[in-house]
Chains A and B, each alone.
Chain A
Amino acid sequence: MSKQLIFGLFLLLSLGLFTYTVFRLVSFFRLTKKGFKVDRISERITTTLLVAFGQTKILRRPAIGLMHALVYWGFMVITIGSLEMMIDGLAGTERIFGSWGILYDFITASGDVFAAIIILSCFAFLVRRHVMKVKRFSGVEMTTKSSMDATAALTMILILMFSLIGMNTGYLVHHSNEIYGSYPISSLLTGLVSVESAHMVQETNWWIHICLIFIFLNILPYSKHFHIIMSIPNVFLTDLKPMTQMNNMASVTKEVKIMMDPNTAFAPPAGGEESPPPERFGVKDIEDITWKNYTDSLTCTECGRCTSVCPANITGKLLSPRKIMIDTRKRMNDRGPGLSKDSNFSDGKSLVGDYITTEELWACTTCNACVQECPVNIDQVSLIMDMRRNLVMEESNAPKELAQMFTNIENNGSPWQFSPEDRMKWAEGLTLNT
């Protein structure tokens, strides 16, 4: 009974903390702007099945992708076991799903095997980070905190898996004559546990495992490993447009239509229900981003696949698509709390300028290689473009060649300084070979 009480207390504490975090995030989301409409649900489900559950994008790099996919699929199976542990903990039962028969055998066996695979994978991931020092895990945005964040998460996952196998091994020895489920890996280790200590081994590992789940759950939202929770929804909420499609700004459409139509140009505004003009074009600070930009930033795992394929970054420019995401999330953490209490709150800084420099923004070629490679369908380019819009339309801060290009288009209908009269020069003296 006391075990149930202690467990219930831990569960409450954990869920309580998590609820606080959720409310905090909701208050941040309230600061963001509307984005695209979430429709075409069946297409979204397909995308989610492929990209999230099928891991298709992470598998674009087959070897390391497969290791991640195995960890992911392992987590899916092991989560069923975690759910069982929660119920057991509350109800004072043991292996309550044990009555599922062969299905239970399948779940426990795959969980047991996956635990071992995850252990091997996590070691490989640690080696890649700390021994091989894979290039994409470095960069200006990859601070010591970020690196520690990754190492801590991997360590926690390792302990989770070791404790799972420990718990299973203890269970096998303790209940040698009445076993529910099947445990191919743990059964190899039964020799390491004596009958006398078996129950203690099982219980200790049970508590380690369950407590770590509670801790992990509450650390995740403050870590890059929040992707464990965010990536499935983020993939589901993908903007399903063609990658190079850039949205038309409705506020500009309205103004351009008025300018071009002599009838409306001087007409009084229609009714009083017109929405007030937007305070700002494009994105300057955190209140200008859309909900999807923020979801993207929360989902970013800092894997750096985007940056490793960015033509600007490859050739030594400052732009790193990963940094755009990290900075956005950081900016929300820095300004969000103040802003959600007071809509005029200012700390004298802004996302563009103090976090992301104009030099980074102007280096983007909009090639969308970053968007293509992101395993969780983050759209870095849209945000970069919205920041450019702010630079140009609010700050008139475009490189001078681009300002000249705008003038050329306005005056000559071409980005170069050619006379529109010469548009047909190419067609002179054309002949077909006969």
Chain B
Amino acid sequence: MEETEQPQQDSQQQSNNGAFHVPTVAELKAKGEEPELLFWVGCAGAFDDRYQKVTRDFVKILQKVGIRYAVLGTEESCTGDPAKRAGNEFVYQMQAMGNIEVLNGYNIKKIVTACPHCFNIFKNEYPELGGSYEVYHHSTFLQQLINDGRLKVADGGEFKGKTITFHDSCYLGRGNGIYEAPRKVLESLDANLVEMKRNRSKGLCCGAGGAQMFKDAEKGDREVNIERSEEALETNPSVIATACPFCMTMMTDGVKDKNKEGETKVMDLAELIVKSNNI
């Protein structure tokens, strides 16, 4: 996290109306350039209708602060996390080796991603297979941008005084000890941050981890996301903030189930920053 203010590259400048193009690593390479930072979009970030919005907002932030970033575009492929957690080590390692080949081929050193599952697997499981990178989850990255003064915090933005509760992602919090970074980002919004009963290391899962996202739940009394959404709604929030694509889906569904989507929005950290700062 030591980028100095870089003069914006041609490929990265926006036109007068603000339109800009997201560079791929391949495009940069064709020009003999390398990105300073790879933004790993992730499958949810690329394909999930709702999470595409988060991807777009995060890229806007990268563009705004002028970091020399790039994405892999069509060369990106699933990290293998859902396969691995579903017991299929073969599919996972095939994916991992393929990805590592691409990343190392482009000499990628630094990765940021908005998906805690991608983050966890890059940080903890790829190194042993030959893929060692400096990896950041976007919550930590955003916090750093704010700390460094590169991302200006809006005075009394959109969320000033509004109640926001943060839902911890297991792969971020318990898994990798990142509890405070997302909260620090939220504090910058000048909002009223309220904790759920179960928070931080005691946080309750949204129900999607361990490949549950891709299958029906086992028979039970109720769904995990309903249990968690009810707990979040008890804080009467304007916003339930999340930092994970799967949490976002689960919490959004939970809020809908309780017919609260009018009063309570489920939003990602990046979206909140963009909205609050009118980026």
Which A residues have a C-beta under 8 Å from some C-beta of B? 60, 241-246, 248-249, 252-253, 255-257, 259-260, 281-282, 309, 311-312, 314-319, 359, 362-369, 371-372, 385, 388-393, 398-399, 401-402, 405-406, 409-410, 413-416, 418, 420-427, 429-434
Chain B 64-92 interface 0/1 with A at a Cβ cutoff of 8 Å (1 = within)? 10000001011011101011111111110
Kindly identify which residue among B14, B84, B203 contacts A432, using a CB–CB cutoff of 8 Å.
B14
Q: How far is the CA of A402 from the CA of B210 in the complex (A)?
A: 11
How far, in angstroms, from A49 to B226 measured CA to CA in the complex? 39
Contact (A414, B129) CB under 8 Å given A244-B120, A253-B93, A362-B215: no
- Beyond A245-B124, A359-B218, A409-B83, is A372–B174 a contact (Cβ under 8 Å)? yes
A362 CB contacts on chain B under 8 angstroms: 215, 218
Q: How many Å lie between the Cα of A311 and that of B226 in the bound state?
A: 11
Mask: chain B, 29-67; 1 = CB below 8 Å from A; 0 = not:
000000000000101011100001001100110011000
- The interface residues of chain A lying within 8 Å CB-to-CB of B56 are 426-427, 430
A415 with B82, Cβ < 8 A, contacts A244-B171, A401-B215 known: yes
Indicate if the CB atoms of A393 and B83 lie closer than 8 Å: no
Most buried by A among B90, B216, B219, B227: B90
Contact, CB under 8 Å: B52 / A426? yes
Contact with A along B1-25 (1 / 0, CB 8 A): 0000000000000101111111010
Contact of A426 among B55, B208, B216 (CB under 8 A): B55
- In contact, B97 and A260 (Cβ under 8 angstroms): yes
Contacts of A309 in B (CB 8 A): 202, 204
Most interface-central of A242, A243, A426, A431 (chain B CB within 10 A): A426
Task: With both chains docked as a complex, state the minimum distance between the C-beta of A40 and any C-beta of chain B, in angstroms.
Answer: 16
CA distance A431 to B20 in the complex (A): 6
Contacts of A406 in B (CB 8 A): 83, 86, 88, 91
11 more A-B residue pairs beyond the given contacts A317-B217, A406-B88, with a C-beta to C-beta distance below 8 A: A244-B176, A259-B94, A309-B202, A316-B220, A359-B218, A369-B205, A371-B174, A392-B87, A415-B43, A430-B59, A433-B18
Instruction: Please count the residue pairs between chain A and chain B whose beta carbons lie under 8 angstroms apart in the complex.
Output: 247
Contacts A398-B86, A415-B43, A432-B20; is A244 near B60 (CB within 8 Å)? no
Looking at A244, A281, A406, A425, which has the most chain B CB atoms within 10 Å of its CB?
A244
B22–A427 touching, CB < 8 Å:
yes
Within 8 A of A (CB), among B113-132: 120, 123-125, 128-129
Check B199 for interface membership: any CB of A closer than 8 A. Answer: no
Q: How far is the CA of A309 from the CA of B202 in the complex (A)?
A: 8
Q: In the complex the two chains form, is A430's CB within 8 Å of B19's CB?
A: yes
Nearest CB in chain B to that of A427: its residue: B22
